Amino acid sequence: MLNASLSEMSAALESRKISSVELTQLFLGRIAKLNGELNAFITADAPRALKDAAAADARRATGQSGPLLGIPVAHKDIFCTEGIRTTCGSKMLADFVSPYDAHVISRFGAAGAVLLGKTNMDEFAMGSSNESSYFGAVKNPWRRSAVPGGSSGGSAAAVAARMAPAATGTDTGGSIRQPASFTGVCGVKPTYGVVSRYGMIAFASSLDQGGPMGKGAADLAALLNVMAGFDARDSTSLDRPPEDYARDLERPVAGLRIGLPREYFGDGVDADVAARVQDAIRWFEGQGAKTVEITLPNTKLAVPVYYVLAPAEASSNLSRFDGVRYGHRAAEYADLYEMYCKSRAEGFGAEVKRRILVGTYVLSHGYYDAYYLQAQKIRRLIAGDFSDAFAQCDVIMGPVAPTTAYEAGAMSGDPVKMYLGDIFTIPASLAGLPGMSIPCGFDSKGLPVGLQAIGNYFSEARLLNVAHQYQKATDWHIRVPDAFPL
């Protein structure tokens, strides 16, 4: 059952082969066994999870059912959960308990999902390696000396090690897709505005988007069906009719036009990564899909633009963590100014401070035009690149990241090198487009490789369809790391 798909689990629950309490206990046991080694969870609240599970069993006993009723789901510790602490991977919020549930959490609650626990993450979602968490680095289940990617590395590792059937993540510049790629799981970053940001602690508001992570595309469709939808509490939430993200899963891929951006297959991409991605694309061609070479000429500007805009928004978003109303406050201070300085100096880690400083700088009087405004203009050009590309293709494919998971500590002396690892995920984030990571094999070291599929706005169902067809023919997504047999 640990490696079953959500629909298989749901069927087992529905036929009473297993209860939600039993299923939850199975995963809680796995967490108890593995989390010490992998550090994927910051908080696993077993009593709460079992209470949710008992409630789900009771609902089923009254005749209710649903694809997620009784299914345990882990949540990135960026989503506020009433009654369970929400740390955002930071000392600043190490003891913070939200008095309300995030929209996404409420939706899962209403669907009868079991809240399994809160997963580790880079501090305030800032990082690509999950090494910036105040609660310690997460280990990659496929190679414990390697990073799991970030910032949703806890969710990725939890699914990869089968400590959770599915998890939520958030993606600002690749934070769902890149860790999914590094850990061999599946993840989708929806179109900006599809999933409400209410109760999702903000990093860069114009880029942040929640999304599901799981083993396969069919699971993601079921999860996205719950997560997506209009929320009046988020002014950037899109008021569209609800859709069934599973509706196109079985559609054949013959005739699919796949755009291959020249910029995503050049120098700097590991040979193994390129080879596995090419293999996957060849499979699609074998199914009757057509490939077309496209160009996204402003790709190289995406990382610099992102590292102006995201820190700018972050520097302002993180101002509320001032030690006044909640969160860490320094034990001693002489006056208000010192209280601010010490509380924030103690509460934030190095990467967060770096981004606050960069963001404060680019918004400063005299620099705003040269950095922030200029970056906004280039952001529009990057979006324009994609809209030109989608005139020629239905889906864009390429690697999620230029490399597979790197060794822990490898990037710690050179943040810019780490930033450049997000070169293929950041453009879709800047354009607000949906993108997903699909496991497509392993490199010579046995580390997973992810195929990225980027679609036009609101094409999530199509992306999931493409991934599902591929996963019907491959088993990359259901492989389990040797070190953690079921």
Strands (E), 35-71: 41-43
- The answer to whether 202 contacts other proteins (rule: CB under 8 A) is yes
Beta-sheet pairing, 290-294 with 257-261: parallel
- The answer to whether 314 contacts other proteins (rule: CB under 8 A) is no
With CB under 8 A as the contact rule, the residue among 114, 160, 176, 204 that binds other proteins is 204
| Closer Cβ to other proteins, 364 or 444, answer by number | 364
| Closer Cβ to other proteins, 239 or 482, answer by number | 239
Coil, strand or helix: which one is 337? helix
Q: CB–CB of 263/296 below 8 Å?
A: yes
Q: Length of the chain, please?
A: 486
**Total residues contacting other proteins (rule CB under 8 A)?**
44
With CB under 8 A as the contact rule, the residue among 11, 32, 336, 357 that binds other proteins is 336
Active site residue 151: yes
Q: CB–CB of 53/72 below 8 Å?
A: yes
- The answer to whether 80 contacts other proteins (rule: CB under 8 A) is yes
Query: How far is 252 from 154, CA to CA, in rounded Å?
Result: 34
Nearest to 438 by CA among 469, 482, 406: 469
With CB under 8 A as the contact rule, the residue among 312, 405, 423, 463 that binds other proteins is 312
Query: How far is 34 from 442, CA to CA, in rounded Å?
Result: 23
Residue with tokens 């082969």: 17
Would you state the structure tokens that stand for residue 213, as one six-digit string? 């992570």
Cα 286 to Cα 147, 256, 283, 291, 434, distances in angstroms: 34, 11, 5, 11, 25
Active site residue 76: yes
Nearest distance from C-beta of residue 322 to other proteins, angstroms: 6
- The answer to whether 410 contacts other proteins (rule: CB under 8 A) is no
Nearest distance from C-beta of residue 324 to other proteins, angstroms: 5
Beta-sheet pairing, 209-214 with 435-442: unpaired
| Closer Cβ to other proteins, 275 or 341, answer by number | 341
- The residue range among 34-42, 196-204, 399-407, 455-463 that interacts with other proteins, by the rule CB under 8 A, is 196-204
With CB under 8 A as the contact rule, the residue among 36, 47, 63, 99 that binds other proteins is 99
Q: CB–CB of 161/120 below 8 Å?
A: no
- The answer to whether 364 contacts other proteins (rule: CB under 8 A) is yes
Return the bridge partners of 125, or none: none
Bond preceding residue 155 cis, omega within 30 of 0: no
Position 105: which residue type?
A: I
| Closer Cβ to other proteins, 57 or 101, answer by number | 101
Nearest distance from C-beta of residue 313 to other proteins, angstroms: 6
Cα 22 to Cα 14, 51, 72, 84, 459, distances in angstroms: 13, 12, 11, 22, 36
Active site residue 206: no
With CB under 8 A as the contact rule, the residue among 38, 167, 201, 269 that binds other proteins is 201
| Catalytically annotated residue among 76, 189, 215, 342 | 76
With CB under 8 A as the contact rule, the residue among 325, 369, 413, 485 that binds other proteins is 325
| Catalytically annotated residue among 19, 128, 151, 196 | 151
Query: How far is 372 from 77, CA to CA, in rounded Å?
Result: 29
With CB under 8 A as the contact rule, the residue among 100, 250, 377, 472 that binds other proteins is 100
- The answer to whether 235 contacts other proteins (rule: CB under 8 A) is yes
With CB under 8 A as the contact rule, the residue among 25, 43, 106, 360 that binds other proteins is 360
- The residue range among 37-45, 80-88, 157-165, 397-405 that interacts with other proteins, by the rule CB under 8 A, is 80-88
Query: How far is 256 from 226, CA to CA, in rounded Å?
Result: 27
- The answer to whether 241 contacts other proteins (rule: CB under 8 A) is no
Bond preceding residue 128 cis, omega within 30 of 0: no
Position 476: which residue type?
A: W
Q: CB–CB of 172/156 below 8 Å?
A: no
- The answer to whether 372 contacts other proteins (rule: CB under 8 A) is yes
Nearest distance from C-beta of residue 121 to other proteins, angstroms: 14
Under DSSP, the state recorded for 5 is -
- The answer to whether 382 contacts other proteins (rule: CB under 8 A) is no
| Closer Cβ to other proteins, 26 or 339, answer by number | 339
Would you state the structure tokens that stand for residue 431, as one six-digit string? 């354009």
| Closer Cβ to other proteins, 119 or 469, answer by number | 119
Nearest distance from C-beta of residue 349 to other proteins, angstroms: 17
Catalytic (active-site) positions:
76, 151, 175
Residues at the contact surface with other proteins, assessed by CB under 8 A: 79-80, 86, 88, 93, 96, 98-100, 102, 197-202, 204-206, 232-236, 312-313, 315-316, 318-322, 324-326, 336, 340, 360, 363-365, 368, 372
